[in-house]
Amino acid sequence: MKIVVLNGSPKGDDSVTLHYIKYIEKKFPQHVFTYLNVAHSIKKLENDLAFFGNVMESVKSSDGVIWAFPLYVCLVHSNYKRFIELIWERGAQDVFRDKYTASVATSIHFFDHTALSYIHSICDDLGMRYIDFFSAHMNDLTKETERSSLIFFAENFFESINKKIKTLRTYMPIEYNIGEYIPTEIKATVENKGQKIVIVTDSVDQTKNIGRMVERFRKLTQAELINISAIDIKGGCTGCIKCGFDNQCMYGKSDDIQMIYEKIRGFDIIVFAGAIKDRYLSARWKMFIDRSFFRTHQPLYTGKQIGYLISGHLSQNHNLREILQTTTEMDGANLVGILTDEYENEINEMMEDFAQNLVQFSVRHYIRPHTFLGIGGMKIFRDDIWGPLRFVFQGDHRYYKKHRFYDFPQKKYGMRMVNAILMTLTKIPPVKKTIRQNIKSSMTIPHKNVLKNK
């Protein structure tokens, strides 16, 4: 059986993820594996049509395809995203149709589900027969139990191909039926009340909805504009982790990234704008986002108000919406809203209300209580930076100590003492009975005290 591995790591053969596939290959020598380092070779894929054709021919002649990738900011690497875009741009979708496929991802399990959902949806859009995924922690290959799971995953994949099983489609096709956005005249600009506003976009093309949305919002709010398609970006994140020690990117000052991010952080209100391309924003946007990793796992926009202008069917793409909310919460910011051109005729009035909300929230310094997305995500970072990743991410460790992110429950000695006393008391039957009878009403006592005192 011929298996093609589409490697989504910019590190090529040095990829941690690829070692999981190599282990499968070692355990199943009867199959032939072909490794295609598509993320590492993205420039050649863009510029050499013959090389791209060879990659497509390998996929076409295969019995199964494995999408292997590390996570980069809730998704795949920008180069992998660009490879996926090329498939559609060059009309190569039929090469993938009916191919059996699976995905293997490595991470620290921080929003691995959103990256896996993205790849799964791409496979469904390509008409592939998606079998399963295997999401591993970076070091799971060193554990016998996880290796056993990996072997079963591979066995099931190969058996499914042999049996030509019927697969279920999880993601329905996105229906593209959004009309042309026509901006109306602006009768009065929104008073910014001293708040500095910036729009960060990858397109100012006035022939497209997103360009017209950006321009009207800029005029409405008198915001500054940053076009990331016009700035100098030498390349995507290389995954070298050199920034972990002191938050200095390997690119240094050779391009505009660090300067632009520091500039954006100087604004009170930040509006990101872009068009959906497949199931995410553009690869250019993803490259810009990936390169923010020089800040590693530290909040980037603490206290800021964040908004989005999106062109495309966000209502059919819950995964992208979740990613946008997640990254906002992890950055310590407040997501005021996401305005899309799905609203068509209502968009102009909604844009004015949207802008006013951004200003109002900024003046009040309002940060909505974070959900599981932000709280749970930060706990994953907290634990791993405290533990196995501390040496590599020393910048994070210093930041987390300074800002008291290490809020482990075992450090709350008062709570531990109270729990120990109460648990001891519940061993006395009459006390236990009384506590059980009053536990529901006692839960509201602190809240009643607040209401009484206010």
pLDDT at 185 over 80: yes
Taking only the tens place, the pLDDT of each residue in 3-19 is 999 999 999 999 999 99
Asked if 95 contacts 66 with a C-beta cutoff of 8 angstroms, the reply is no
* pLDDT in the model for residue 428: 93
382-391: long-range pairs with CB below 8 Å, 24+: 382/406, 382/407, 382/408, 384/108, 385/297, 388/139, 389/108
178 CB contacts (<8 Å, ≥6 apart)? 209, 311, 312, 313, 341, 342, 344
Which secondary structure element, helix H or strand E, spans residue 26, and what is its range?
helix 16-27
Q: 90-100: per-residue pLDDT in tens?
A: 999 999 999 99
- The string of pLDDT tens digits covering residues 48-61 is 999 999 999 999 99
Residue ranges and CATH numbers for the domains of the chain are: 2-163 (3.40.50.360), 197-372 (3.40.50.360), 412-453 (no CATH)
**pLDDT tier at 445 (50, 70, 90 boundaries)?**
confident
Does the structure show a pLDDT above 80 at 200? yes
Radius of gyration of the chain measured on its C-alpha atoms = 25
β 224-227/197-201 pair status = parallel
**Whole-angstrom distance, CA of residue 298 vs CA of residue 364:** 24
Q: What is the mean pLDDT of the chain?
A: 96
Which residues make beta-bridge pairs with 334?
305
Beta-carbon contacts of 168 under 8 Å, excluding residues fewer than 6 positions away, are none
- In this structure, of 171-175, 351-355, 380-384, 429-433, the range with the lowest mean pLDDT score is 429-433
Tens of pLDDT, residues 261-274: 999 999 999 999 99
Q: Which amino acid is residue 447, in one-letter code?
A: H
Q: Distance (Å, rounded) from C-alpha 146 to C-alpha 136?
A: 8
Higher pLDDT, 6 or 411: 6
Report pTM. 0.95
Is residue 218 within 8 A of residue 225, CB to CB? The reply is yes
The mean-pLDDT minimum among 82-96, 147-161, 399-413 falls in: 399-413
